[in-house]
Amino acid sequence: MVQICECVMLICFGLSWPISVYKSITSKSTKGKSPIFLIAIIVGYIAGIAGKIVSGNINYILILYSINLAVVLTDFIIYFINLHNERHHAKSV
């Protein structure tokens, strides 16, 4: 039952990240984004992955943690791309 609850939590959290990435790409803006928040989420997913590995409880849930981490890292990278583009545009105006 614990694994099912953890799985549901990761799926629910995970559904929001592709939407966030899509908005980051289409808006080409850093507005509404917080790199500190993204770092906190990244650290949380890394801790979840580490917890699974250290406990020896390696199962399908590790895949969900990894997918969520990859999507949040993508959003984090896009944040800095957008930040660079905003600064470049501000200098050229």
Q: Is residue 41 within 8 Å of 17, Cβ to Cβ?
A: no
Q: How far apart are CA 19 and CA 40, in angstroms?
A: 19
Report the chain's mean pLDDT, rounded to a whole number.
Answer: 93
pLDDT value, residue 13: 87
- Label residue 11 by pLDDT band (50, 70, 90): very high
Write out pLDDT tens, residues 36-64: 999 999 999 999 999 999 999 899 999 99
Cα–chain center distance at 22: 12
DSSP states along 30-59: -TT--HHHHHHHHHHHHHHHHHHHHHT--S
pLDDT value, residue 80: 97
Average pLDDT score over residue span 18-34 = 94
- Label residue 2 by pLDDT band (50, 70, 90): confident
* The two structure tokens encoding residue 90: 């501000």
